[in-house]
Chains A and B, each alone.
Chain A
Amino acid sequence: MTLSTIATFAAAISLLIGAVFVLVGAIGLLKFNDPMTRLHAPTKVGTLGIGMLLLASILYALAQGDPSLHELLIMAFLFVTAPVSANFIAKVTIHRGTCETPPSPPKDSTWSTLNAPDDAQG
């Protein structure tokens, strides 16, 4: 079994794993029943699935005899920008008021670092 055969097998397995992850992300986007919950499925699982597809592309190019690392550029860009866009979409959800507001802190009315000095020990 040569290196080319092993790389082709690894690329095929990466493709199957990536396909399952992408499909699970899309099903989660359709099936969850809360806007903040729906945010979880595509931004993590879908990004990981596309990462596996790009890894399969790298391995297949290695198996074909001309290794290329262009896909690492797409992978790095995608993994950096996916949390940023997810954060923006979560801010949109909070701004439109379509999710539950976070619970207020149990004792203080504000953050403890913003308290006046005289009730800092209370």
Chain B
Amino acid sequence: MTIAQGLFDFALIIAMVALAVGQVLCMARLVIGPTTADRILALDTMVINALGLVVALGMHQGVKVYFEVGVLVAMLGFVSTVALARFILRGDIIE
């Protein structure tokens, strides 16, 4: 194992730990609120961090399928954020 590969593996572990700690902090904000917008924002951030975890896992295992998973997670996260916000704003999602 070369020096570059060792540094990359170390950085990958650091990134995974940072993403997991970020998920825990977002979950604390999701629980303590206090407003609805904070909870929607915490869910949106958690989806984006989960996308980062999927990408990091794809780099760790060297499997290309994880990038399609990442595209799907990004689209579902955006649509669910917009649906939650529209439900709060308008009382309905599709009028």
B-contacting residues of A (Cβ < 8 Å)? 5, 8-9, 11-13, 15-16, 18-20, 22-23, 25-27, 29-30, 35, 38-39, 42-43, 46-47, 49-50, 53-54, 56-57, 60, 63-64, 68, 70-71, 73-74, 77-78, 81-82, 84-85, 88-93, 95-96, 98
Chain A residues with CB under 8 Å of B19's CB are: 19, 22
**Given A15-B14, A29-B41: A98 touches B81 (CB 8 Å cut-off):** no
- Contact at A5–B48, with CB atoms within 8 Å? no
- Contact at A89–B35, with CB atoms within 8 Å? no
- Contact at B89–A92, with CB atoms within 8 Å? yes
Q: Which range contains the number of B residues in contact with the other chain?
A: 35 or more
B2: interface (CB < 8 Å):
yes
- Contact at A50–B51, with CB atoms within 8 Å? yes
Shortest CB distance A24–B (Å): 9
B61: interface (CB < 8 Å):
no
